[in-house]
Amino acid sequence: MIHLITEVSRLTFIIIFAIYTYDCFAALRVERRGDDSTRLYGRQKAMTYLFLVNGNLLLFLNTEEPKIFIMMLAEIIFVVIAMIIYNKIYESASRAVVNNMCMLLSIGFIMLTRLNQAKALRQLLFACVALIITCFIPLFIGNVKLIKGLKLFYIVAGILLLGIVAVAGGTTYGAKINISVGGIAIQPSEFVKILMVLFIACMLYKDTSRKQVFTTVILCCILILILAYSRDLGNAMIFFLTMLVMVYATTQKPVYLLGGAGLFAVAALVGYAAFAHVRTRVIAWKDPLSVVDGAGYQISQSLFAIGSGGWFGTGLYQGMPKRIPVVETDFIFSAISEELGGLFALCLIFICIANFLMFFNIALTIKNRFYKIIAIGLGALYASQVFTTLGGVTKFIPSTGVTLPLISYGGSSLMATMLMFAMIEGLYQYRGEKEEIYETETTRYRQNR
Amino acid sequence: MRQRQRDTDRTDEPEQKGKRRRSLNVEASVITYVFLALFLMLIAYFIYFMAFKSEDFINNPANPRVKGFEKLVVRGEIQASDGTVLARTVTRNGKEVREYPKGREYAHVVGFNSNGMSGIESDKSFYMLRSHAFILERVMNDLKDQKNPGDNMVTSLDTKLQDAAYNGMGSYKGAAVAIDCETGGILAMVSKPDFDPNTVESNWKSLSSSEDSALLNRATQGLYPPGSTFKIITALSYLKNGGKLTDTFDCKGSYTQDGYTIHCYGGEVHGNQTFKQAFGNSCNVAFSQVGLSLPKGALKSTAQEFYFNKRIPADFSNVNKSQFTLKSSDNQAMVMQTAIGQGNTLVTPLHMALICEALCNDGVLKTPYVVDHIVNDGGSLVRRHSGSGQRICTESEAHTVRSLMRYVVTNGTGRVVNSSAYTAYGKTGTAEFSSNKNEAHSWFVGFAKKGDKKIAVAVIMEGAGAGSSHAAPLARKLFETYLR
């Protein structure tokens, strides 16, 4: 009987999420025309609640633990509060951004409860704390003087944090990524990412002379080299791509983009020649089954899961996602694809695409140059992280072990991503405003037509 | 585009140090499109993986999920083409066990499902544990918490042909393979010595350590010296490099070059003969000279076009690569030996059968398969094997070599398979495998047709001696059985 309900719900999950995904892109189109998209966003909200109910119902049927219902209630309350904050309190915030944030978090909640209830509970707590902290961000983001004034702090704090991890951090899967503070493992790189975006924006929003660009790049490269030294190759790549995009955007010179791509190729070749752990990953990427008992174990397990799930998935609790190492963090996409189906996973990729499209869309509408640069930086950060992790677990690119924002388990990742989303929401409110603040520093200003 | 953007933006933008700056919208758009392109590639790859590559991973023995399906589904049957059950799951003492009604006869091709898996049991495990039973039946089973019946694998195996091959091998070690040339479907596949798949678990210790490796499927994994059957490849290479059927050779029974002497089988002296006659007589002297006359590397490139040193395309696993190792630095003795199929060349029986299959098909190699279609427990079709093939030599090359192989049957060493009931083509082989010249493997490879029915075979009997006296009679029996 449970099996039958599970079979049927494989389809309901996909239908719910497909409607949600359709609405997401429909809203983008409707807004471009300037029409009202409230109805679409309303239906998206309904789909999010429906997904939570459907998911928790299945979790209960399979575990028969009443506390699942308490979790469900908490999750629904969480979504309701998030909606109130970004729909009612910040009236002009982007509904699309908050809807997607809640949907992705919900998928994470359901999948984590299926994989590890204790971690799911902690994730829910992290999300609540993060929501409370980040809901003040849109207030502070208007204080440009403060943001610009902390320029030195960003880079010094970034280097120090990553440096401490490189020296004293704990090792997980060959990479030093976290540091334990009072019993809580913190992953500083998640936050340093945002610091780097702010730093580059502060450095280059006005002065893009060669000297300024090189100073910025060299300081950022220190961060990247520390990450590479800690063997956190995934984050090194994300930092590098984000830096490249921001330097290109601010200087408006494509030559930096090409030069950066060349530098990346050289770094990759040197890394491959010099480090055995880089070679191992490339071998595991090219033919994981040939080293299935060694370096290819993780990626093979991931592909076993994705492949066996097929387009419609096995249904919750019918697969074996726990066979994949670190499935709750880096490989949660494979677990989703296995049990909820390849079609569901495809919709998930589309939602991630919609997110970065929205980030860049917001960047386009912002008139203030400094804010525009921050929005571009955050968009690049999000897009490179999603691409690195999804590409890695599907064997499109070598796997590097990065979290999938908002879905993967992990307090630091969750907090940092919600910080990003809150910043974007904040920037969205200022999209119409001109550059008064920094115009006072410039010589002339022409009125917009 | 860029220039225009710059112009229109100019009026909107503040100036700084006398230099006009334009908005960053062009850059933001470029970045958006670059990321969008990356993600679309990722999506395309994901769809490609799901559609084409996922099977490699699903069916991998290291995938723990396949076993997990056994909790929900009763493993399906494996059947011969006429519906004869070759493997099924029965419940004994409340425990599900796999039963193989035909036992040893199909042991290698069907495989086993305990102490690891082999054969079809391994390759199609995933599909036997999927259920496409009628939807209401599945709903009822779910409601009653009963297992669903798994899908059945219907093979291309022909029971009469398998019987003939199995009995014909007698007590010889070796292998016999028969393939339907039109489709690539395996009609019979026997490997000896055999084992009883019903008792693999209880006999595991002795089976896995047995000296004659009974578990090995010699048809697909056995690497044998091809002996004179390799002259098919040498002849093809000779014709590709300007040789003619009418070229003449003088055989004095032996041929010495660089201090190495090649003898003809049984000390025969063939005298003056054309290339065609030399092939028919399987004349070692003539083929040594042919080998030496070929440009360096020519034989290797022909061999590789015929899948030596390459993974043979097949819809089943555990197929070994055949080996051709002749290098341009090798001496003339090695060239001569390689040209007549001795040397270091090693080939699987399946590979030799496939070469014949391709020659029968005018040069197109049909990918071999053994599971023809999958049906649900009620017999409704779930999916059918879709054949594929690739050309490995030209039609005229195939025709010319065919005429040589026809000559072997009508006038040469393969006369024993000649019959008025069908048209047969072939090549015998007597492969020495040790320093003792009296010990040799007996080979016959070839094909035969009657009307629309075409069958390619490869037979090897270890240590049986001349090809014409042991392997060829079995091939005749297979042709007679299939083309009656």
Provide the shortest C-alpha distance from residue B57 to chain A (in Å). 5
Contact B444, B472 (CB under 8 A): yes
A84's CB contacts (< 8 A; 6+ apart) are: none
Provide the shortest C-alpha distance from residue A207 to chain B (in Å). 9
Provide the shortest C-alpha distance from residue B148 to chain A (in Å). 11
ipTM of the complex: 0.93
Q: Percentage helix, strand, coil, to 5, in chain A?
A: 75, 5, 20
Q: How far apart are CA A27 and CA A48, in angstroms?
A: 16
Instruction: Write the pLDDT tens digit of every residue in A75-109.
Output: 999 999 999 999 888 888 888 999 999 999 999 99
Q: How far apart are CA A368 and CA A377, in angstroms?
A: 14
By Cβ distance, the residue of B27, B49, B56 closest to A394 is B49
Tell me whether residues A1 and B142 touch, CB distance under 8 A.
yes
Residue B396 lies in a domain: yes
Residue B443 lies in a domain: yes
Residue recorded with tokens 């195939």: B398
By Cβ distance, the residue of B16, B43, B126 closest to A349 is B43
Q: Using CA atoms in the order A237, A241, A244, A248, what is the torsion angle rounded to 10 degrees?
A: 170
Tell me whether residues A352 and B13 touch, CB distance under 8 A.
no
Contact with chain A for residue B211, Cβ under 8 A: no
Instruction: Write the pLDDT tens digit of every residue in A126-141.
Output: 999 999 999 998 888 8
Amino acid at A4: L
Q: How far apart are CA B195 and CA B210, in angstroms?
A: 11
Contact with chain A for residue B381, Cβ under 8 A: no
Tell me whether residues A304 and B72 touch, CB distance under 8 A.
no
C-alpha distances out from residue A107 to A19, A121, B208, B441, Å: 15, 14, 48, 64
Residue B69 lies in a domain: no
Helix or strand holding residue B339 (H, E): helix B332-339
Give DSSP secondary structure letters for B370-411.
Answer: SEEEEE-TT--EEEEPPP-EEE-S-HHHHHHHHHHHHHHHHH
Tell me whether residues A306 and B15 touch, CB distance under 8 A.
no
Contact with chain A for residue B48, Cβ under 8 A: no
Ranking A30-44, A102-116, A296-310, A382-396 by mean pLDDT, the lowest is: A30-44
CA proximity to B231, closest of B467, B15, B71: B467
Tell me whether residues A357 and B68 touch, CB distance under 8 A.
no
CB atoms within 10 A of CB A151: 14
Contact with chain A for residue B246, Cβ under 8 A: no
Strands (E) across A253-357 are located at none
Highest mean pLDDT pick, A308-322, A355-369, B164-178, B262-276: B164-178
Tell me whether residues B39 and A349 touch, CB distance under 8 A.
yes
Provide the shortest C-alpha distance from residue A360 to chain B (in Å). 7
Q: What is the pTM of this model?
A: 0.76
A255's CB contacts (< 8 A; 6+ apart) are: none
Kindly calculate the radius of gyration of chain A based on its CA atoms and give it in whole angstroms.
22
Domain assignment of residue B378, given as a range: 221-482
Residue B168 lies in a domain: no
Using a CB-CB cut-off of 8 Å, the residues of chain A touching B57 are 289, 300, 303-304, 306-308
Ranking A331-345, A383-397, A428-442 by mean pLDDT, the lowest is: A428-442
CA proximity to B392, closest of B266, B256, B207, B232: B232
C-alpha distances out from residue B357 to A385, A436, B49, B63, B354, Å: 52, 81, 32, 34, 5
Provide the shortest C-alpha distance from residue B67 to chain A (in Å). 11
CB interface of B with A, residues 142-181, below 8 Å: 142-143, 145
By Cβ distance, the residue of A307, A391, A445 closest to B42 is A391
C-alpha distances out from residue A444 to A441, A447, B16, B17, B448, Å: 9, 10, 8, 10, 93
Q: How far apart are CA B149 and CA B292, in angstroms?
A: 61
By CA distance, what is B146's nearest residue in A? A1
Give DSSP secondary structure letters for A196-254.
Answer: HHHHHHHHHSS---HHHHHHHHHHHHHHHHHHHHTT-HHHHHHHHHHHHHHHHHHH--H
Provide the shortest C-alpha distance from residue A174 to chain B (in Å). 24
Contact with chain A for residue B380, Cβ under 8 A: no
pLDDT at B14: 43
By CA distance, what is B65's nearest residue in A? A320
Tell me whether residues B46 and A394 touch, CB distance under 8 A.
yes
pLDDT at A449: 35
Amino acid at B33: Y
Residue B97 pairs in a beta bridge with B90
Tell me whether residues B31 and A342 touch, CB distance under 8 A.
no
Tell me whether residues A252 and B26 touch, CB distance under 8 A.
yes
How sure is the predictor about A441, in pLDDT bands with cuts at 50, 70 and 90? very low
Residue B280 lies in a domain: yes
Contact A124, A414 (CB under 8 A): no
CA proximity to A248, closest of B27, B151, B279: B27
Residue B255 pairs in a beta bridge with B262
CA proximity to A150, closest of A190, A209, A195, A191: A195
A19's CB contacts (< 8 A; 6+ apart) are: A43, A47
Bond into B193 cis (ω within 30)? yes
Q: How far apart are CA B11 and CA A449, in angstroms?
A: 8
Tell me whether residues A206 and B16 touch, CB distance under 8 A.
yes
Number of domains in chain B: 2
Q: Which pairing describes strands B389-391 and B381-384: parallel, antiparallel, or unpaired?
A: unpaired
CB atoms within 10 A of CB B170: 12
Tell me whether residues A448 and B12 touch, CB distance under 8 A.
yes
Contact B229, B428 (CB under 8 A): yes
| A326 CB burial (10 A radius; 0-12, 13-18, 19+) | middle
By Cβ distance, the residue of A4, A310, A364 closest to B139 is A4
What are the structure tokens assigned to A172, written together?
């997980």
Residue B181 lies in a domain: no
CB atoms within 10 A of CB B365: 22
A121's CB contacts (< 8 A; 6+ apart) are: A71
Residue B398 lies in a domain: yes
CA proximity to A403, closest of A161, A395, A414, A355: A414
Residue B259 lies in a domain: yes
Long-range contact pairs involving A76-84 (C-beta distance under 8 Å, separation at least 24): A76/A49, A76/A52, A78/A105, A78/A124, A78/A127, A78/A128, A78/A131, A79/A45, A79/A48, A79/A49, A79/A52, A79/A105, A79/A106, A81/A131, A82/A131, A83/A45
For residues A150 and A384, the model is more confident at A384
For residues A220 and A183, the model is more confident at A220
Average pLDDT over residues A308-325: 90
pLDDT at B437: 67
Tell me whether residues B29 and A4 touch, CB distance under 8 A.
no
C-alpha distances out from residue B239 to B160, B170, B293, Å: 38, 38, 12
- Per-residue pLDDT tens, chain B, 484 aa: give them: 344 444 444 334 444 443 446 778 888 999 999 999 999 999 999 999 998 888 888 878 788 887 777 888 899 999 999 999 999 999 988 888 999 999 999 999 999 988 778 899 988 888 898 888 887 887 788 777 788 899 999 999 999 999 999 999 999 999 999 999 999 999 999 999 999 999 988 888 888 887 788 899 999 999 999 999 999 999 999 999 988 999 999 999 899 988 889 988 888 899 999 999 999 999 999 999 999 999 988 999 999 999 999 999 998 888 999 999 998 888 889 999 999 998 899 999 999 999 999 999 999 999 999 999 999 988 889 889 888 899 999 999 999 999 999 999 999 989 999 999 999 999 999 888 777 666 789 999 999 999 999 999 999 999 877 767 889 999 999 999 999 8
Question: How many residues are there in chain A?
Answer: 449
Using a CB-CB cut-off of 8 Å, the residues of chain A touching B132 are none
CATH of the domain at B293: 3.40.710.10
Q: How far apart are CA A105 and CA A123, in angstroms?
A: 9
Provide the shortest C-alpha distance from residue A288 to chain B (in Å). 10
- Choosing from B54, B75, B98, the residue where a domain stops is B54
How many CB contacts within 8 angstroms connect chain A with chain B? 152
pLDDT at A34: 78
By CA distance, what is B23's nearest residue in A? A369
